[in-house]
Structure 1
Amino acid sequence: MADQALHSILEQMTLDEKIAQFMQLATPFFEGAEEEGEITGPMAEMGITEEIVRNSGSVLGASGAKEVRNIQEAHLRNNRLGIPLLIMADIVHGFKTIFPVPLAIGCSWDMELAEKSSEIAAREASISGVHVTFAPMVDLVRDPRWGRVMESTGEDPFLNSEFARAFVKGFQGKNLAEDTDRVAACVKHFAAYGAAEGGRDYNTVDMSERQLREMYLPAYKAALDEGCEMVMTAFNTVDGIPASGNKKLVRDLLRDEWGFDGILISDWGAVKELIPHGVADGEKEAAEKAMKAGVDIEMMTTCYVQHLKELVEGGSVSEELIDEAVLRILTLKKKLGLFEHPHRGADEKREQEVIMSEEHRDAARELAVKSCVLLKNDKVLPLQAGKKIALIGPFAQNGDILGPWAWKGSREKAVQLYEGIAKRAGLESLSSAKGCDVAGGTEEELKEALALAEEAEVVILALGESSEMSGEAGSRSDIRLPEVQRELLAAISKLGKPTVVVLFNGRPLDLTEVSHRADAVLEAWFPGTEGGHAIADLLYGFENPSGRLTMSFPHNVGQVPVYYNCFNTGRPQGAPDAQERYVSQYLDIPNEALYPFGYGLSYSSFTYEEPVLSNKTLKAGETIDVTVRITNTSEREGEETVQLYVRDLSGEVVRPLKELKDFVKLTFKPGETKEVNFTLREEQLRYHHSDLQFASDPGEFIVFVGPNSAEVKEQSFTLVK
């Protein structure tokens, strides 16, 4: 369909029909839905008429080939111009085959597997009738109190940007019209939602524009540079204005400066929330501000359909703005091929053949293995076959390992830890008890667990958070394990048995007590459908841990936010002339994280020689090669993530102590030495100055190479202009 055809449709549309394209309603509003008619009351309450539904542009939360086809067919019968619906849903880390949560995927540092996970998610979703996924979420995160850190890939703008690109490529492929196994991606949440004050969801964000551009915007830009079709506004304020009504953020930066001409959708109810935020005195003003800011689709509130017509007829909003937004929506429908093939990839037969296929589950298992991070190991792991194991804890036999946003995932079909360990250890070597629930327990449960532990040679404690304790609206001020689980750990540790803690959670936790009491700690996150198999593979040494943290773990919540790429102070701890007390420090804990960015152990061991620079001077247009020799000093083949950081010692504004600039994942055979080479360019040293100019400064820099952000070897060089 040519662009002229879209303009022809637009010319035939009434103003009411145009505005209705901006309305996104949940599935039960639509004829043909399996739950159709269940929200008749809310329809009346919201002022939604049958005419609005007939002309609506998109559906939220429909899935299943049969249901989606029924909805689309009914809609095309009822819509005067035969404009198809867009079917949108939250496919965040898998559709029915659930992969690890995105924060865990980040810990894989593996872009190919990340892309593959979103490609598989897109295939399953598209076959089930979905056209658009509300992913990837690329918000930079530094505060583990915020439950939605599980949706991000971490605290580093460079790494987040790489994952943003990988996810978009996986979801969208190269041609949405031709490849119906792909879906359009919607990057979120624009912008800086990850900086909500106090880690409290929906809360205020307040930062300088320089900080916004330096740390928080790069990953959104990377997703758009990869061709991401949609953007979702954030719930939070940016510089005192909620994102959904923020003209400077959306119209000026996103649309004009960055040139984004795709669809901008509000998050659930965010347009109407301009009222409680205090920047609109009612729905009419909220509609005006959101439309002028550049929001095209209003999710699940009715400010647009109730008030835009009046605003246009009164001259407050130009019909040209309305037409631009409608054309963006029609254009995406064209890109997806919906005018010619309104049912697109929806296929009941393929649903049965493809969804949760062995191939998909194998991919989920592989990514779960790569995402787990070994935090501690006092010569307990890998476990030896034949050892008598007591598997204890609320996650020992619990299907709640998919995590938040596993919308269509099945806990019943998830491989529990008990199942995975039984396969590796054998039932004759394995006993199991709950010990307690996630947040409560009884004396009888504890006694049963202790009795089994007494008889065992090794205790595996499966501890963590329930899915409901993280994700959206899952903010927590106390990020330790729940008290009952800490008591279980304390009681088990008194037995003196080798104890391995396996953690299921969606955020970095305060693990100070856990680390002190356990002999080994494996951070499994919410590992997804194949979690039990993947963890057992690691515990028994069939796989070698290779995950590396992308978000720092604090000593306790009072240290939050703690992140590796922080600024120095005028009185830094450890400076040569520092006085013992009067420096920037805590009196009761270290400044540094308990487990830093980039950290993770392996069953292999590696040594790094001093890095060598090809030149001590870098000029614009030239490069410096950074070479380091690394040796696997163990008898086990292993994968190492070699990380390159840079520090600008004197900038026009304060620069971070370290910034990740590159990394490489390499497999080393036992005893093997490899020479790893990185190339540094002047462009990698640029940053936003006080006037927001993006440039580098001449002067001295330090380059660091190591296995994580804390354990590094360094050399210096000078940038000359």
Structure 2
Amino acid sequence: MSNENHQFPDKTNNRVNVKELIEQMTLDEKIAQLIQLAVPFYEGAVGEGLITGPIDSLGITEETVHNSGSVLGMAGAQDVINVQRTHLSHNRLGIPLLMMADIVHGFKTIFPVPLAIGCSWDMDLAEKSAEIAAKEASVSGVHVTYAPMVDLVRDPRWGRVVEATGEDPYLNAQFSRAFVKGFQSDDLTNNLDRVAACVKHFAAYGAAEAGRDYNTVDLSDRQMREFYLPAYKAALDEGCEMVMTSFNTVDGIPATGNSKLMRKLLREEWGFDGILISDWGAVRELIAHGIAADESEAALKAINAGVDIEMMTSCYVNHLSELVERNEVDVALIDEAVLRILNLKKKLGLFENPYRAADPIREQEIVFCEDHLKVARSLAVKSCVLLKNEGMLPLTRNQRIALIGPFANSGDVLGPWSWTGSKDEAVTLVEGMNAKLSGYVTLSVAEGCGIETATEQQWQEALAVALDADTIVLALGEHSDMNGEAASRSNIQLPHVQLELIQKLKSLGKPMVVVLFNGRPLDLHGVYEEADAILEAWYPGSQAGHAVADLLFGDENPSGRLTMSFPYSVGQVPVYYNAYNTGRPQGAPDAQVRYVSQFLDIPNEPLLPFGFGLSYSKFEFSEAQLSATTMTETEPIKLSITVSNKGSVTGVETVQLYVRDMSGEVVRPVKELKDFRRVELQSGESADIEFTLTEQQLRYYHSDLTHESDAGAFVAFIGPSSSVNTELKFNLIK
């Protein structure tokens, strides 16, 4: 039934004065608002009472649950209604629960993983994906999503690179804004199809040493501000309602207990007055980090740092009251945390309608609907990146094709953080390719091997179907569990058994196309040199098979461009385009043969650089032009170039503008992305692309953390990737 037919408790209304409400609350009721518990703690929930193991040690009382402020992992319209109704029947003051969940790249309709979305360079579609995710989540009862994750990433060993949009601060900031806008809109109170966003993980979680999850982060303030903070700030500038703390240390202090980071920078400098929530268990983890002797001290440091909600530990509930009694915690800190929580509940309209948009009938109409799947397919197409093509793609429908590999008929194409998605309902590659070949030839299919193991029978079946084919399509990659949280890997090659499959099939002398399903840049040795074509599909989502088949058969033209460099070898990691030079760089006019900054056994450069991606079109760039060779603080310069499609099919090129500051107060990156344009050109068509570059775009953080530009020489680069070397020289005069 529609939620209009449910009776709301009389004591809930959106005209509530939250400050007056706080005055009516006991200290224990206030503190309970600061705890977030998982779904099974709540009466009426599916799986109620199933919490076991370490969670039992929380010591949560029934009274605390009845007064708690928010729920973790709650979704499903009727379940939400049941839990909220029961909660309100127990809650003395009728304060509704906030329902929060990880809606990262789709709710039921799963879009490509964020790293793949980043490779689309398409802000409109990124925003649309978040809007659809919010619509499906909201009608299913969710109020807040733990997204976007905007951590800048440079180390593909870290499993959570799959959740980020890449290694560039400018591009990450653009996606950050797009996602927040899509999730929230500009009117959460009246637009019930949107949810509040929670940007994560603050701060610099992506810089964990050795790419090992939860590990130490050690950055200078200047480096953090230059590279890691812009995307978080962009989310807040777009109005993001919540921030989640990161698990890592920042300058020697865990983020969840870091007053300098949270109080000084986030609250005071940036003016953020929304909710700050810990990640799962991060308050109690202050003990393991070594800055708290026990739970009481952990609670003290977290509340002093400004953490409003403690997720899935009970340090606040068990110790804040006694800390107040001992005058170690000012009750005003608790009041301000409760105020922020109640303000968001009021903004979401929960005091007037505690079920908000949860509606079982409308849920059936909206979730996983055809219109949403069309957008998912379009974004999946734009997110795939063509890494290599020696005349093999697109495929023709009249050739005999053998589809082989562990991802040939696998529904494991959704990727991590797709908990409400269905692998069974995901379109597999064999389904997508068969749809293209209907009425033409029959597709031959063999698994060949599993993700990490193989049998002799699998080998033989693969060889048999390959021998009878004109072309081999190999569907390879990583199981989704090999990516995401707690999925760091020291070896980022494909599992050995898949490399062995490539070798066995290569011996047949057949043309071979590799489609990769994975969540991180890989070391492609054993793949890149053997395959005639490689399509990086990432985890494309619910419409995976259709989107990849669209590209393989040329019904769509690949347009994705990498937002994270693919290393030549894991020994280079971290390897990223916007690095600093050294005093002894390779290629300098006076460089020696040996005594320069280099590896003796591999190149310095990645195998595939940031911004790289091939197309079925052939794009040519004219010589770039400058409107002037000098810039001032009030007079920008214009940079222009003509791009032509010399190929036979319509395609999209991403024209990228990079700048290098040749002499800074501190060293500057060899290139920095400043702008880009995606341009669609028909065969034979040309377009004039113009960029305006301002003095503000040349500013950076100096050693004293001032943000300003320096007069002097600069070089601009315009081209199809970060490896472009054509130079446009100009000077900034101040």
TM-score (norm 1): 0.99
**Which aligned pairs between 1:242-257 and structure 2 lie closer than 5 A?**
242-257=254-269
1:285 aligns with 2:297: yes
**2:156 maps to 1:156:** no
In 1, the alpha carbon distance for the partners of 2:122 and 2:95 equals 40
User: Any residues of structure 2 matched to 1:98-113 within 5 Å, and which?
Assistant: 98-113=110-125
Matched, 1:466 2:479: yes
Aligned equivalents of 1:560, 1:260: Cα separation in 2: 34
- What is the CA–CA distance in structure 1 between the aligned matches of 2:503 and 2:264, rounded to whole Å? 56
- Residue 524 (str. 1) matches residue 537 (str. 2): yes
Mapping for residues 361-400 of structure 1, pairs under 5 Å = 361-400=373-412
The alpha carbon displacement at 1:42 in A equals 6.5
User: 2:309 matched to 1:316?
Assistant: no
Secondary structure, in 3 states, of the residue corresponding to 1:594?
Answer: coil
Offset, 1:634? 1.0
The equivalent residue for 2:593 is: 580
Residues 508-555 of structure 1: per-residue CA shift (max 9 Å, x gap): 000132110000000000000000000000000000000000000001
Structure 1: distance between partners of 2:584 and 2:309: 49
| Cα distance, 1:445–1:41 mapped onto 2, change above 3 Å | closer
8 Å CA contact 1:387, 1:429 repeated in 2: no
Q: CA deviation at 1:66?
A: 0.5
- Give me the whole-angstrom Cα distance separating, in 2, the residues matched to 1:712 and 1:384: 36
Q: Match for 2:561 among 529, 545, 548?
A: 548
* TM-score (normalizing by structure 2): 0.97
| CA distance in structure 1 between the aligned counterparts of 2:262 and 2:432, rounded to whole angstroms | 48
Q: In the TM superposition, what is the alpha-carbon distance from 1:177 to its structure 2 partner?
A: 1.1
Residue 167 of structure 1 corresponds to 179
What displacement does 1:586 show? 1.0
2:101–2:142: 8 Å Cα contact kept in structure 1?
A: yes
1:201 aligns with 2:213: yes
How many percent identity over aligned positions? 67
Contact kept in structure 1, 2:638 and 2:693, CA below 8 Å: yes
Are residues 390 and 644 of structure 1, via their aligned partners in 2, closer, same or farther at CA, if it must alter by over 3 Å?
A: same
Contact 1:503 1:525 in 2 (8 A): yes
Q: CA deviation at 1:8?
A: 0.8
Task: Indicate whether 1:658 and 2:661 are aligned.
Answer: no
- 5 Å-filtered alignment, 1:483-562, equals 483-562=496-575
CA shift, 1:635, in A, is: 1.4
- What is the distance in 2 between the residues matched to 1:108 and 1:165? 15
> Which amino acid in the other structure matches residue 713 of structure 2?
E
**Is the 1:386–1:429 Cα contact (8 Å) retained in structure 2?**
no
What's the offset of the Cα at 1:37? 2.0
Matched to 1:504, the amino acid is F
Equivalent-residue separation in structure 2 for 1:518 and 1:718 (angstroms) = 45
Segments of 5+ residues of structure 1 without an aligned counterpart are none
SS at 1:423 equivalent: helix
* Residue type at the aligned position of 1:670: S
Q: Give the SS at the match of 1:222.
A: helix
Partner of 2:4: none
Deviation at 1:712, TM superposition (A): 4.2
Partner Cα distance (2:185, 2:382) in 1? 23
- Residue 417 of structure 2 aligns to a residue in which SS? coil
Shift of 1:3: 8.5
Report if the CA contact (8 A) 2:14-2:352 is conserved.
no
1:340-379 map, 5 Å? 340-379=352-391
Deviations, residues 345-373 of structure 1 (Å, cap 9, x unaligned): 10100111111100000000000000000
1:16 is aligned to 2:28: yes
Specify which of 469, 472, 495 is matched with residue 456 of structure 1.
469
Q: Give the equivalent residue in structure 2 for 1:595.
A: 608
How has the CA–CA distance of structure 1 residues 313 and 361 changed in structure 2, closer, same or farther, with 3 Å as cutoff? same
Instruction: Find 2:579's aligned residue among 538, 562, 566.
Output: 566
1:667-700 residue CA offsets vs partner (Å, 9 max, x unmatched) = 0111111110000000000000000000000000
Question: 1:637 — aligned with what?
Answer: 650
Shift of 1:621: 1.3
Q: State yes or no: 1:609 paired with 2:622.
A: yes
Q: Secondary structure at the match of 1:678?
A: strand
Aligned partners of 1:185 and 1:228 also within 8 Å? yes
Q: Contact between 2:165 and 2:172, CA under 8 Å: does it hold in 1?
A: yes
Q: Which residue is equivalent to 2:699?
A: 686
Residue 619 of structure 1 is matched in structure 2 by: 632
For 1:187-226, what aligned pairs fall within 5 Å after superposition?
187-226=199-238
Within 5 Å, which residues of 2 pair with 1:63-78?
A: 63-78=75-90
One-letter code aligned to 2:612? Y
Which stretches in structure 2 are left out of the alignment for 5+ residues?
A: 1-12
Asked if structure 1 preserves the Cα contact closer than 8 Å seen for 2:113 and 2:163, the reply is: yes
Q: Distance in 2 between matches of 1:389 and 1:711?
A: 37
Q: Deviations over 1:275-294 (max 9, x none)?
A: 00000000000000000000
* Counterpart AA for 2:90: N
What corresponds to 2:8 in structure 1?
none
Letter in 2 for 1:654: V
- 1:338 counterpart = 2:365: no
The aligned length equals 721
Residues 413-455 of structure 1 show CA distances to partners (whole Å, capped at 9, x for unaligned) of 0000000001112384310000000000011101110111111
**Paired amino acid for 1:652:** E
**2:191 aligned residue (179, 187, 194):** 179
Aligned pair 1:305/2:317, yes or no? yes
Q: Which amino acid aligns with 1:616?
A: T
Cα displacement string for residues 48-69 of structure 1 (whole angstroms, at most 9, x for unaligned residues): 0000000000000111000000
